[in-house]
Amino acid sequence: MTNFEKTMATYQASLDDNTAATLRVEGNTQELVELLKMAKSGLGFFTGTGRVLRKVVLWCGPFIMFAAAIWGLAHGKWPGES
């Protein structure tokens, strides 16, 4: 029985080492998952901001361009002059 007990003790020690390594990997993986979730929410914020700015530019851009052209013509800045 001593041979069997030694073998079982060796297996138990290996299992304990493997369990400890698995728990370390699980902790590191959880940190990476949280980091990726933060990055995803940050990208969502910038995507939403970009969509709003695009709509603002598409709606207000022509009016601003028209106002700038009128202002330039009113102040003697004709096209082609520097």
Q: Can you give the chain as a three-state secondary structure string? A: CHHHHHHHHHHHHHHHHHHHHHHHHHHHHHHHHHHHHHHHHHHHHHHHHHHHHHHHHHHHHHHHHHHHHHHHHHCCCCCCCC
pTM: 0.45
Alpha-carbon 24 to chain mean position? 25
Condensed to tens digits (0 to 9), the pLDDT of residues 62-71 reads 999 999 999 9
Condensed to tens digits (0 to 9), the pLDDT of residues 24-47 reads 888 888 888 888 888 888 888 888
